Chain A
Amino acid sequence: MRKEIFPFTALVGQEEMKKALVLNAVNPRIGGVLIRGEKGTAKSTAVRGLAELLPEIRVVAGCPFGCDPEDVTVMCAECRRRREAGEELPTATRKMRVVDLPVSATEDRVVGTLDIEHAIKKGEKRFEPGVLAEANRGILYVDEVNLLDDHVVDVLLDAAAMGVNTVEREGVSFTHPAQFILVGTMNPEEGELRPQLLDRFGLCVNITGVTDPALRAEIVKRCLSFEEDPAGFAAVWEEEQQRLREKIVAARRTLPQVDISDEMLLLIARTAIEMRVDGHRADLIMMKAAKTNAALGGRTEVTEADIKETANFALLHRMRRKPFQEVAVDQEKLAGILGLHPHRQGGKQVAHSHPHTHTHSHPHQHPHSHAHTHQHGHPHGHEHGRG
């Protein structure tokens, strides 16, 4: 069954989220994105829409891991063996996959397990690949990632960091490549993510409902016309979709040529140090995101603007927080380091759309009353509807 998907380009607003997703489509090595926001802000719609825009990749035909026939460094054991035996690997082209990891997934389905059918028929042990195998070279999408079972998160952590899945269970012992773009959505009201898992997402965006009445009306209009006639709606947007698709393909081609100067790298390093992030992953991601941003702009040299436009995405979830402090970036400080005016940062309602308030008086029996307390860079307006 194929369900018509709301076109990515028809989404109103949410520019940050769209940007973060497109950056990942161009450069899978950025390592995914975590989209944090309240319900009804088109989080899932955007991710599903992105799938339509992903480019095609070349794979070894029939390989359960979709190995890249050109790249020996991340080839599964079987493809490598065949290649080393002098075999010409059969290739095929397919779209990059978006593999869903349902919140109810069991550990054996995620990492893979013993192939029962083969064992019974042939009396031999064989590995049956799981979700991580399927997601190799694609997107692993976890809706409501903060609700994922704890032990499933544990197995995700290792695979997501090292790009390898090691299985030692149920009689099988197997290791295979598992390089995926981790995309997750969550509603922070239902609990935070574990910091270790947060760090596995390359980028992070906090989103909020659109407040402009005119835009809200536009959202409703588009939703209605999509519901009435999905195919017709898609056809209207096809030209726009194609334009973005071509832009992504062009950027992918430009990306390997993009250079970054030491001066720009120093700016990144200083930003990471002064913003007090954990470890070095933020630096790397800032660099990759800036390079990708340059490629999207058709340039081969990273400029300060590229860093400014993307740094926030890489820093947001990596700030060293006091226990339970909110996931947020001190926008003024960041702006100071990067030398830009805070209100222009990212061009959107990132900072200061809500002043720093603590004036909140009647907390009792009000499960959502916390929506009144806002901090910098973490705006959520509780009255916003769907986008």
Chain B
Amino acid sequence: MAEYRRYVFPFTAIIGQEKMKRALILNAVNPRLGGALVRGEKGTAKSTAVRSLAALLPEIEVVAGCPCNCNPRDAVRLCPFCRERLAAGEELAAGTRRVPVVDLPVSATEDRVVGSLDFEHAIRYGRRRFEPGILARANRGIVYVDEVNLLDDHLVDVLLDAAASGVNVVEREGITFVHPAAFILVGTMNPEEGELRPQLLDRFGLCVPVEGVDDPPARVAIIRRREAFDSDPIGFLAAFAAQEEELRQKIVQARALLLEVRVPAAVVRLAADLAAEALAAGHRAEIVLAQAARTLAAWEGREAATLEDVERVAELVLYHRQREAPPPPPAEPEEPETEEPPAPPEEQEQPDEPEREEPRTQPESNRCDGNDGLSEDNRRQQDENPSPECGAAAAETVFAIGEPFPVKRLDHGRDRILRKGSGRRSRTRTPTKAGRYIRATMRRGSGDLAFDATLRAAAPFQGRRQKNGVAIAVEAADIREKVREKRVGNFLLFVVDASGSMGAEQRMVAAKGAVLSLLLDAYQKRDRVGMVAFKGEHAEVLLPPTNSVELAHRRLAELPTGGRTPLAAGLLKAYEVARAHLFKNSNLSPLLIVISDGRGNVGVGGRKPLAEAHQVAALIREEERIKTLVIDAEKNGFLSFGLARGLAEALGAVYYKIEDLKADLLVKAVRTLTD
């Protein structure tokens, strides 16, 4: 089949984006660097650069006609096709081809990635033969995944497996086949759409963040070039042909020089030191770092890598491997005159965390200040009978939303229940014909026929079957059905404590920050959200279940804080909303997220407020389909009451402190490591 030919904007015509270009060129020179991940905002020539790199890659020697691009000089790693030819006494003719760049679209199905039974061959000759897939075509080349963070988990598994071992093992449709699949991964992604799994992230040798160019004349030049290319691609390519050829030659020279570049011990040591400093897991970081320094030296025509080379490539190698330091040891208390024993510091913030809280210059009236050192009894009293100084003001204060942070995975794993819905949080098998077709299975009665798999199953037997004027006769035993998978969003119901006690110590700022973080996460996972708030005498539904996370955000921003804490009413209202939701969507379990300090002091009936809250909690616990999560807004400290923890126990809920929600981040927005 003829291939569609793309006219791609030439690499050398890309203005700016030097880091990205360097990362790609280094990979063209030395495939052992293990690929590159380009992360950045939309419209910054990410995909263009990767696609145009293909034209610059050097030629490699391959066995002519081999679908796996086998190296004729490497007898150890020949694919079964080549070995078969050798065994038949054939000589493997050598040919050349450019290093392949194979596109892996996010819509790919497994059979095309790993390869499958050759259907046409089976029909014609009645024999099973392997038809190579993307992994075979990419052997000794590059697999390119645009929007790599949208790739299905299932395909990611397949990719990781092959990338780690360098071979693709196929056991399917009555075929056993093992072929070399040594490829490097190049991916582009926009982090707004969600992060990559850490294992996949680590597979990329280098990682570059890209941003738009901010210099007006450069931007003008970019527009002009793009317009020129759009109006006459052929002429434009011709105009850049000489530059492209020059770059190609330079890459070829660097590749030749690469093996001669020495890597002095001091360079290796620096690489190891930097990797250790960045707290990179495993040893891939220092290995890639040393390789990258060497490659840079080769690229610049030098015969030894220098310390400076290491520094220049450090950001590319360490950007996605840096991890956060463990929390520092408790710092000295800031106010030495305090009489309390040294409690854990109030803010155990990560070092690079942006200021999460408002500065303490908040108007005094916003907070019931002077609370901090009060005894439990005093404080209770204050909650129940707001003191005149702060009562009125605290009754209605709208706190700002704290700085959001990435949150941990909160999903409950995959199960085998078939669900309807759409979203990205939990993976599930879907019963409807929607969802991504990932693979085929023997018949199950869903009526969702997998034609390709069915035909492949029927194909080998065609010689023996009765056919009525068609090329292929399908029998019942051949029928295969599609297995589809899609992520189902959850229904997150936020139950927010907006009482006066949440105003103390800026708890509300942090609590809102936590909710916003969960909302951001909800956006990426396409969850439905709802919100219940309680304060004063009663609870109210601020936001009925909706897909509009924006709306939830707006409600959150406007939510005032003040008054007493009708915890039981809040829980009851949440229970009602969750039940109503279950009534309509019996298979989508709601997740109640209670954000509170647990200090309920207003009841619904005549009993003690806290006892009532626990009674409602028991009710919620009984409904097994409702999952609960309690986020304790109280800070670690001398004066924590542990009331929220008690509530979590009563609910049978997972319990978190706000700080515990934060994900252990691999990619940090630290831009400048070396420059």
Contacts from A to B (Cβ < 8 Å): 29, 72-74, 76-78, 80-81, 104, 106-108, 111, 113-114, 116, 119-125, 149-151, 154-155, 157-158, 161-162, 164, 166-177, 188-192, 194-196, 199, 256, 262, 265-266, 268-270, 272-273, 277-284, 287-288, 318, 320, 323-324, 326, 358, 360, 363-365, 367, 370, 373
Contacts and interface: CB of A to CB of B under 8 A. Distances in A.
Interface stretch (B299-307, B433-441, B636-644, B659-667): B433-441
A169 B519 contact: no
A157 B147 contact: yes
B222 interface: yes
A234 to B, nearest CB: 36
A124 B452 CA distance: 11
Contacts of B516: 323
Contacts of A111: 105, 107
Contacts, number: 248
Contact of B41 (A77, A279, A373): A279
Interface in B211-244: 212-214, 216-217, 219-220, 222-224, 226-227, 230-231, 233-234
A79 B124 CA distance: 28
7 smallest CB-CB distances across A and B, nearest first, come from: A279-B43, A123-B471, A281-B43, A269-B219, A324-B553, A171-B452, A77-B2
Interface of B: 1-7, 40-45, 47, 51, 103-109, 111-113, 116, 119-120, 123-124, 133-134, 146-147, 150, 190, 192-193, 212-214, 216-217, 219-220, 222-224, 226-227, 230-231, 233-234, 404, 422-424, 433-437, 450-452, 455-456, 459, 462, 470-472, 474, 486-487, 516, 519-520, 523, 526, 540-542, 544, 546-555, 558
Nearest to A123: B471
B107 A324 contact: no
B541 A78 contact: no
Contacts of A373: 554, 558
B124 A123 contact: yes
7 contacts: A74-B7, A114-B451, A114-B455, A162-B51, A175-B4, A279-B44, A287-B227
Given A158-B146, A174-B1, A365-B541, 19 more contacts: A77-B5, A107-B436, A107-B437, A111-B105, A120-B455, A123-B123, A123-B471, A158-B147, A162-B6, A171-B452, A175-B3, A189-B551, A266-B217, A268-B223, A269-B223, A318-B43, A323-B516, A324-B553, A365-B544
A76 B471 CA distance: 28
Contacts of B219: 268-269, 272-273, 280, 283
A195 B190 contact: yes
A287 B223 contact: yes
Contacts of A284: 223, 226-227
Contacts of A161: 47
B42 A199 contact: yes
B73 to A, nearest CB: 29
A367 B544 contact: yes
Contacts of B547: 190-191
B251 to A, nearest CB: 24
B422 A192 contact: no
Contacts of A150: 422-424, 486-487, 526
B193 A194 contact: yes
Contact of B112 (A168, A199, A278, A363): A168
B42 A281 contact: yes
Given A166-B105, A191-B546, A262 B220 contact: yes
A323 B212 contact: no
A77 B519 contact: no
A325 to B, nearest CB: 8
A26 to B, nearest CB: 15
Q: Looking at A76, A171, A174, A363, which has the most chain B CB atoms within 10 Å of its CB?
A: A171
Contacts of B459: 123
Given A190-B547, A284-B227, A119 B106 contact: no
Given A171-B452, A190-B548, A191-B549, A158 B234 contact: no
Q: Looking at B4, B212, B523, which has the most chain A CB atoms within 10 Å of its CB?
A: B4
Given A150-B486, A171-B111, A158 B105 contact: yes
B119 A280 contact: no
A37 to B, nearest CB: 15
Contacts of B216: 266, 269-270, 273
B213 A280 contact: yes
B119 A119 contact: yes
A123 B547 CA distance: 46
B195 to A, nearest CB: 14
Contacts of A29: 230
Contacts of A272: 219
A196 B42 contact: yes
B3 A324 contact: no
Contacts of B233: 73
B532 to A, nearest CB: 10
A360 B542 CA distance: 13
Q: Looking at A167, A169, A175, which has the most chain B CB atoms within 10 Å of its CB?
A: A169
Nearest to A283: B223
Contacts of B1: 77, 174
B107 A154 contact: yes
Given A120-B471, A269-B220, A363-B558, A170 B553 contact: no
A195 B42 contact: yes
Contact of A168 (B47, B105, B435): B105
Contact of A282 (B5, B43, B146, B190): B43
Contacts of B437: 107-108, 169-170
B245 to A, nearest CB: 21
B119 A324 contact: no
B537 to A, nearest CB: 13
B234 A73 contact: yes
Nearest to B108: A168
B294 to A, nearest CB: 33
Contacts of B474: 120
A265 B452 contact: no
Contacts of A282: 43
A170 B548 contact: no
Contact of B105 (A106, A167, A265, A279): A167
Contacts of B542: 363-364
A106 B192 contact: no
B422 A123 contact: no
Given A168-B109, A191-B548, A192-B549, A364 B147 contact: no
Contact of A80 (B5, B119, B550): B5
Nearest to B214: A273
B551 A370 contact: yes
Contact of B190 (A76, A167, A168, A196): A196
Contacts of B120: 123-125
A72 B6 CA distance: 10
Nearest to B1: A77
A160 to B, nearest CB: 11
Contacts of B456: 171
B7 A73 contact: yes
B472 A123 contact: yes
A191 B43 contact: no
A251 to B, nearest CB: 16
Contacts of B554: 324, 370, 373
Nearest to B107: A155
A161 B192 CA distance: 17
A170 B111 contact: yes
Contacts of B523: 323-324
A2 B470 CA distance: 37
B108 A120 contact: no
A157 B151 CA distance: 13
B227 to A, nearest CB: 7
Nearest to B122: A123
A203 to B, nearest CB: 14
Contacts of A364: 540-542
A265 B220 contact: yes
A177 B6 CA distance: 9
Contacts of B108: 168-169
Contacts of A320: 41
